[in-house]
Amino acid sequence: MHKEFKKGLVWFRRDLRVHDNAALSDAILRCEEVLCVFVFDRSILDALPRYDRRVEFIHGSVVALDAALRALAEKPEAGLIVLHATAEEGLPSLASELLVDAVFTARDYEPYARQRDDSVRAALRTQGIAMVTVKDHVIFEERELLTQMAKPYGVFTPYMRSWLAKLEQQLPAIHSNASADKVLGKRPSQHAKPPPSLQTLGFEATNLLQLGIAPGEAGATALLNDFVGRLDRYDETRNFPSVKGPSYLGVHLRFGTVSIRQLVHLAYQEKLQGSAGASTWLGELVWRDFYFQILANFPQVSVGAFKPDYDAIVWESGELAQLHFAAWCEGRTGYPIVDAAMAQLNQTGYMHNRLRMVAGSFLVKHLGIDWRWGERYFAEKLNDFDLSANNGGWQWVSSSGCDAQPYFRIFNPVTQSEKFDADGKFIRRYIPQLAKLDAKSIHAPWAAKPLVMASAGVVLGENYPQPIVDHAEARAATLARYGIVRKTD
């Protein structure tokens, strides 16, 4: 049967899987022959530290993807072509060399990705090669959901109502790989070699595997299967960092080793069966789409506040701010729940969602430091760093974003600790020097009796710091700082 294109090239990016892959499925349907490529983009990688868990995760997922493509086609010559180059130069050059008629890829909504894709598209056009982009990372993208005034949503609750109403009309289809064996690896390619090693790319092995983070579709499937048994209780367990409550699928969603459609199908069907946990989890997946469409429709949020008035806030600066920021980054604030959260981030590249709010709020509303400092630090450290969600979360805690917490809501780290880590189990894991404190004293060691501290072997200022700020004083300073924008809330 005659197809639209003779030869197509699928450019994998943040969709490192063969199951329910929109770009791969579209290429199989529309091309007589399909080749596949992944680019280790030097425009991104060259600036990263040589020890980066995300690069190791991507590398492991690319190796798994290469094997999966060979298995899907049932032939060894169907492997993945792997480039180590800038995408703007390497991709068009490869497409020209392979004499492809079209490049298929999933749309990306980040400002850098859009610029990159525009450059690649322009280069391909000069060679007479089409660039076909498809929706894959989200359920509803950009302007698919609009208000009655035909504008993008800036408030979550009406967005979620609209999102769920459209979902209920028809669940998104799962993309098929039927006939993949007929078009993948149709002819041997000299480019389809085993992916280069992590060391060849210039990176070192990290503690990724020791942390139990398995890359690729197999890693995602194992986590999802484990989560299914806990899904019904997700609404009860998700806020407690010492409890196995979350799905831990963030890094897999970030790099597309699991399909968002697959997860939404699961959550929606379980919700229909009356699962409160599934309903809550589905709401979290809606938040993910919400932040994607915020970034796509309001790209200015990547550099400033969603609410422009909040850019007028005067943040702390100078040497003291630098010292406080360093203490926050290194988990030396003297507030155990904040310090434990930062220790978890620094040691594992993961931070529990409740703690992201607590630690973020502390930086902004206790230390008076610009939320963008914290956003950049999380971007460096988080395995599941995603610009849209990270930016949305930081603007939420700073009250400058869409549908953010009000400026006068200031998390008390002690009461948050007492509520969500009541027995101090999480704190003890990440701050072992406090391990012998009782469940009451561990949340605010400075308030404990001297005898309690002595028997636990804790000496403030020596093996654990004094609080670097007083909560009440910090709260008053924050309310004054936000006075410039009070009238906007």
In a domain, 208, yes or no: no
Q: Are residues 292 and 312 in the same domain?
A: no
- For 244-261, what is each residue's pLDDT tens digit? 999 999 999 999 999 999
Of 275, 297, 319, which residue sits at a domain end?
297
pLDDT score for 1: 63
Position 406 scores a pLDDT of 84
pLDDT of residue 489 exceeding 60: no
Residue 283 resides in a domain: yes
Which position among 284, 297, 316, 446 bears the catalytic label? 284
User: What CATH number does the domain containing 75 carry?
Assistant: 3.40.50.620
189: in domain: no
If asked whether residues 236 and 125 sit together in one domain, one would say no
- Kindly state whether residue 183 falls inside one of the protein's structural domains: no
Percent composition of the chain: helix, strand, coil (DSSP 3-state, to 5): 55, 10, 40
User: Are residues 143 and 126 part of one domain?
Assistant: no
Residues 409 and 327 in one domain: yes
Residue 489 lies in a domain: no
Domain that holds residue 257: 138-173+217-297
Residues 374 and 282 in one domain: no
Task: Tell me: do 79 and 223 sit in the same domain.
Answer: no
Q: Clarify whether 11 is annotated catalytic.
A: no
Contacts from 52-56 at CB under 8 Å and sequence distance 24+? 52/203, 52/206, 53/206, 53/207, 53/208, 53/211, 53/213, 53/349, 53/383, 54/251, 54/255, 54/349, 54/383, 54/385, 55/198, 55/201, 55/203, 56/198, 56/203, 56/205, 56/206, 56/208, 56/215
- Among residues 11, 328, 371, 396, the one annotated as catalytic is 371
Q: Are residues 115 and 160 in the same domain?
A: no
Q: Do 317 and 334 share a domain, yes or no?
A: yes
Tell whether 162 and 64 lie within a shared domain.
no
User: Does 353 participate in catalysis according to the annotation?
Assistant: yes
Does residue 87 lie in a domain region?
yes
Tell me the whole-structure pTM to 2 decimals: 0.95
Which is catalytic among the residues 32, 89, 239, 315? 315
207 located within any domain: no
Per-residue pLDDT tens digits for 172-227: 999 999 999 999 988 766 777 889 999 999 999 999 999 999 999 999 999 999 99
Boundary (domain end) residue, out of 83, 112, 136: 136
**239 tagged catalytic:** no
> Which residue among 136, 159, 187 closes a domain?
136
Active site residue 446: no
pLDDT in tens, 402-413: 887 788 889 999
312/430 same-domain check? yes
Tokens of 261: 């459609």
Could you tell me the CATH number of the domain that includes residue 259?
A: 1.25.40.80
Nearest CA to 67 out of 18, 27, 137 is that of: 18
What is the number of domains present in the chain? Answer: 3
Average pLDDT value over all residues in the chain: 96
How far apart (Å, rounded) are the C-alpha atoms in residues 197 and 87?
Answer: 19
Among this protein's residues, is 284 annotated catalytic? yes
In tens, the pLDDT along 91-119 reads: 999 999 999 999 999 999 999 999 999 99
Residue 392 lies in a domain: yes
